[in-house]
Structure 1
Amino acid sequence: MTAAELSDLHALEGGAQPGTLAFEVSDYRTTLGWPVDGDAFGAYLDLGEQVGGLRMRAGLGAEVQWWLRLRMLAGPVLATPGKRTEWTFLTQPMTDEQRRRPLPPGVESVTARVLLPTGHIDRTVAHWATAPDPVHPALPLFSSVVGAVRSVLYGHRF
């Protein structure tokens, strides 16, 4: 089974392992230190200044996350189901130099407000492909995730 097929199966089954923590707005703020806003509809994170984001299709995302996990560089990944499920890797913010460099094909930086999963959000709207770790809340470097994408796309696996 390919990584893309595993990713699709993972999304169909709900995307998370049993026992995954349900985060609320206060958890995102205090435990993870993210600048999250919330209302009756959910928790929102502005990607850009304090938290970076890289979006790609789920199949590529699954391979990239595998590559990062092998090197103990993996971080939280937000899954947005739809016609084409997309994964958004949360990272440390981009530097000015990184903003000027082209990204690999099929990958885009995200500077927008994203909906984060809470106990009230339907899993068909948003869920964690890889949930944040409250014990180790550090985010991977933006350049680490871009490097992993390039390694996966261009065959430099090890």
Structure 2
Amino acid sequence: MMQRYPLTLRNFLLSFILGLAVGHAAAQEAHGSVAQAVTQVVRSQLNAFAEDDAETAFKLSTASTRQLIGTPDGLLSVIKHKFTPIYRHRKAMFSEPEIINRSALQIVHLTDADNLVWIAIYQVEQEADGIWRVDGCQLFETRSMSI
């Protein structure tokens, strides 16, 4: 009878450890899919701006941003005049997004036509429908040049 107890305890511990490992793997996979969704919405909006596709860029924005800006053409106009490196960039390099609950920060290093490097920090929100959308962006000029 004494042998059954250690065997049962060993089985319990083994099951517990396997459960933790599976749970950790599932959490990493879930984080990975969320990170992909965040990066993809920013990449899609950058592509929409590059193609002058105001409608798509507008749809990729949060409801609060759409309400603030008003129209797809209004958004494109703001980007053209105040965020030129976002509107016309040669290269975009994405960092791993930082995700906290239903919000994320996505950092993108943009190289403009003059080879100047800019840092764009996107705020991305998961809305009630479960879709990740761009809520805003801060743009910072660096003293770096791309080669």
**TM-score (ref. length: structure 2):** 0.27
Name whichever structure is richer in strand by fraction: 2
**TM-score (ref. length: structure 1):** 0.25
Structure number, greater radius of gyration: 2
Whose relative contact order is higher, 1 or 2, with alpha carbons under 8 Å and at least 6 apart?
1
Name whichever structure is richer in helix by fraction: 2
